[in-house]
Amino acid sequence: MSDRLAPLARAKVVSVLRGPSPEGTVRAARALVAGGITGIEVTYSTPDAARVIAELKAHYGERIVLGAGTVRTVEQAEEAADAGAAFLVSPGATARLAAAMRATGLVTLMGAMTPSEVLHALDWGADVVKLFPSSLGGIPFLRSLRGPFPDVQFCPTGGVNAANVADWFAAGAFAVGAGSELCAAKDIADRNWEGIETTARAFARAAGL
């Protein structure tokens, strides 16, 4: 594992934030960090995602590992880098999008599900392969992929929760991504910051943080 991946390796759990508003997403991120989750991925399905990234970067600096998710266009990759993201996550990958992500110099996580897609992501220079949606194959599928790809850093996303997160790591995950299981959009809309922090603490404890 390269040194540039060390911050993500230490964070272990990345919260995939799909907030209904910029203000709510920032507040949710603060609750997550208070609960011990320092991997924060602001998705481009969040309104004004770049502004949210910039605000969190200004507030936390290097105390969190901050990235942009659901990156689907060249423009989003460039905008997220300018806003202060440390890593970029795409749900899938194309040669053009992968080139734009790599051109930023940031850590890249490219989405893949099948062995052929994993090979494409590796050919296009992915630092980490985002196994997505990992809920489809579950933990046994990750174990199977580790056979032909023992040197690949996998970040399963989808179907990861506090009850099984330790099992994902035991199966060989480099890091995990968690969306609504860790921070639901409804909790953000209801301003349930205490509930988000409580869930984050349970996740962090289960992940050995």
Residues with a known catalytic role: 41, 130
Instruction: Tell me the C-alpha distance between 26 and 51, whole Å.
Output: 10
Alpha helix locations (H) across 35-114? 49-60, 74-83, 95-103
Ramachandran sector of residue 132 (left: φ over 0; alpha: ψ -120 to 50; beta: rest): beta
Residue 83 in contact with residue 57, Cβ under 8 Å? Answer: yes
Instruction: Tell me the C-alpha distance between 65 and 10, whole Å.
Output: 9
Residue 30 in contact with residue 24, Cβ under 8 Å? Answer: no
**Burial track 60-85 (b if 16+ CB lie within 10 A, e otherwise):** beeebbbbbbbbeeeebbbbbbebbb
